[in-house]
Amino acid sequence: MAAILRANPPLRRLLGAWLQSCLGTGAGYVALLLLTYRYLHTSWAIAAVLLCEFLPGIALGSPFGALADRYSKRRLIVVANLLQAVAFAGLAFAHTAVPILGLALLAGVGNALQRPALRSALPGVAGGQIQLAAALYDTCRWIGMTAGPAIAAGLFAISGVALPLALNGLSFLVAAGVIATIAFGAPPQAATTEAASSSGVRAGLSEAFAAWPAVAAVVACSAGWIVGAGMLNVCEPILARTVLHGSGSDYALLVTAYGAGMVTASWLVARRGSMPTNVLIQRYVGALILTAVGMGGSAIVGSVLPAALTFAATGYANALLVVSETQLILLRIPSAVQGRLFGAKDTFESACILLGLVGAAALVSAAGVRFTLAAGGGFDVVCAIAAVVAFRRDRTAPVVPRDGESVSLATTALTGFVRPAS
């Protein structure tokens, strides 16, 4: 893997810029919530800031995805980073509701613009290593989610919330400068049909579904997992503090275990390299099953340490699922419509996150945390079954491993990788 990165300077620079930006985002996210509560003194303000992150994805994900297919991905990514740089630099000096919420919304718009453009740009710099690029992209993201808050904790001791916010703005500025120097070459799967060049979101999605019919099931099943992830976010602190009678440190342990599981899975996938499509499919379904096991286990644990293990397993499975999904899309969908597909996914999944948050709040109030976690695990089982059915009906993506290789779903889910066919 290191040799591949050394031989591909554009990919190395892109991932380096993305990693430092993710670390800044992890730190800035914690600082933004603390800033909001410090000056606005209400949980509703925190909820409003979180909505500023999701609402642009719901409203603008599909149009931004179409832009990524029509215009220069590099320019869109640079503009998106500049928007977020301005937003977080301004937040370092914001003290009242209007600028805090307005700048948080601007950051959300920048994030919504960047996601489809950046993911669909990966094949253009991957140099034939699309699976590795996708795995490392997600590894950087989860390292930022795990290590960024720890960085913020150290910075708080120096200057409070202003410094992490300002440094996050600087990280976006650095990313914009580095990405502006990268020449995104033509991806290896350049589209050749007139339909692929259509700018319409509906036309782009139609071509994506025609190229790989099972992608609709993948998007739907992943959205189901997103609902479960939103439910887990609500249940996590309540499980730690109320049901398991733990402390704030115990809650932090669960968060850290989840993040460590995500980083471990994506790193192992990146190290293993490219695999046949059928193995990616098996890994995807296996990850859904392991997610159900993790959430179901969290519903029955009796103390914090076993809960940390189930949360680590859930994080591991979730990372495995996301990486597998991204790799499959980049391999199976024409490059000219990838932006629109990723944009539509962002819209759908952002809405599902909100559904999971609201649904979990209602279920916890009505039936308790353990029931809610068990329900989330059951939902993941349904998604896994639906994925198996969809893949078996998809003649373009057989689930039988090539060259006689036999790989079980259990092995795929637990190891995160298998030996690719020779």
**Helices in 127-247 by DSSP H: which ranges?**
130-159, 162-179, 201-211, 215-238
Name the maximum alpha-carbon separation found in the chain.
Answer: 64
Nearest to 214 by CA among 119, 281, 292: 281
Question: How many C-beta neighbours within 10 Å does residue 400 have?
Answer: 10
- Among candidates 185, 131, 182, 148, which has minimal Cα distance to 30? 148
User: 176 or 142, which is more confident?
Assistant: 176
φ, ψ (nearest 5 deg) of residue 146: -85, -45
Do residues 218 and 397 touch, judged by C-beta distance below 8 A? no
Give the pLDDT band (50/70/90) at residue 354: confident
pLDDT of residue 23: 94
Average pLDDT over residues 345-364: 84
Task: Kindly report, residue by residue over 226-247, the tens digit of the pLDDT.
Answer: 888 888 878 887 888 788 888 7
Segments making up each domain of the chain, as ranges:
1-129+141-184, 195-417
Lowest mean pLDDT among 70-74, 310-314, 366-370, 410-414: 410-414
Strand (E) or helix (H) holding 328? helix 304-332
pLDDT at 403 over 80: no
User: What is the pTM for the complete model shown?
Assistant: 0.74
Q: In whole angstroms, what is the distance from residue 88 CA to residue 83 CA?
A: 9
Average pLDDT over residues 120-146: 87
Q: What is the CATH number of domain 195-417?
A: 1.20.1250.20
Name the class of domain 1-129+141-184: mainly alpha
Range 10-16 average pLDDT = 93
pLDDT at 1: 66
How many other β-carbons are positioned within 10 Å of the β-carbon of residue 389? 11
Averaged pLDDT score across all residues of the chain: 82
pLDDT in tens, 267-307: 888 887 778 888 888 999 999 999 999 999 999 999 999 99
Which comes out higher in pLDDT, residue 96 or 156?
Answer: 96
